[in-house]
Amino acid sequence: MNSLENAVIYDLENKIMAGDGLSNVTYEGVVEGYFRADTLSERLREKFNRYKQLVKKRGLSDDEYEEIMGLELYLEEIPDYLSIGISAEYQKLKLEFRNREEHR
């Protein structure tokens, strides 16, 4: 949004128009602030929370390693613009997990 000088957003369902000051607002800010919608689906949040739980665990089973690999495939496909915070935390957790596993 911040690349458009005269952007206007209209929520057809709730009949809300937003136009002033959008050039300084991020996509996530518009979605959450103007329309009170969460940019992350509940499913994504559950998968990310499960990933966090698994990569912090010691003594993983083969099934848990397999689950981590599946979750990584899913989480890698999430565009950064949907949640920069989640994406950054995911990359950090992934790196920490890889480093820990290499030193086992």
Same domain, 64 and 98: yes
Same domain, residue pair 14 and 48: no
Q: What does each C-alpha distance from 50 to 39, 47, 58 come to in angstroms?
A: 19, 5, 14
> Identity (one letter) of the amino acid at 58?
R
Render pLDDT for 49-58 as a digit per residue (tens, 0 to 9): 999 999 999 9
pLDDT single digits (tens) 29-46: 666 665 555 656 778 889
Query: Mean of the per-residue pLDDT values for the chain?
Result: 79
How far, in Å, CA of 1 to CA of 13, rounded? Answer: 21
* Span 57-64, average pLDDT: 95
Is there a single domain that holds both residue 63 and residue 19?
no
Burial of 45-66, coded b for 16+ CB within 10 Å and e otherwise, reads eebbeebeebbeeeeeeeeeee
pTM: 0.62
Domain hosting 66: range is: 42-102
Dihedral angle sign, alpha carbons of residues 93, 98, 103, 104: positive
Helix, strand, coil percentages (3-state) for the chain, rounded to 5, are: 60, 5, 35
Whether 32 and 49 share a structural domain: no
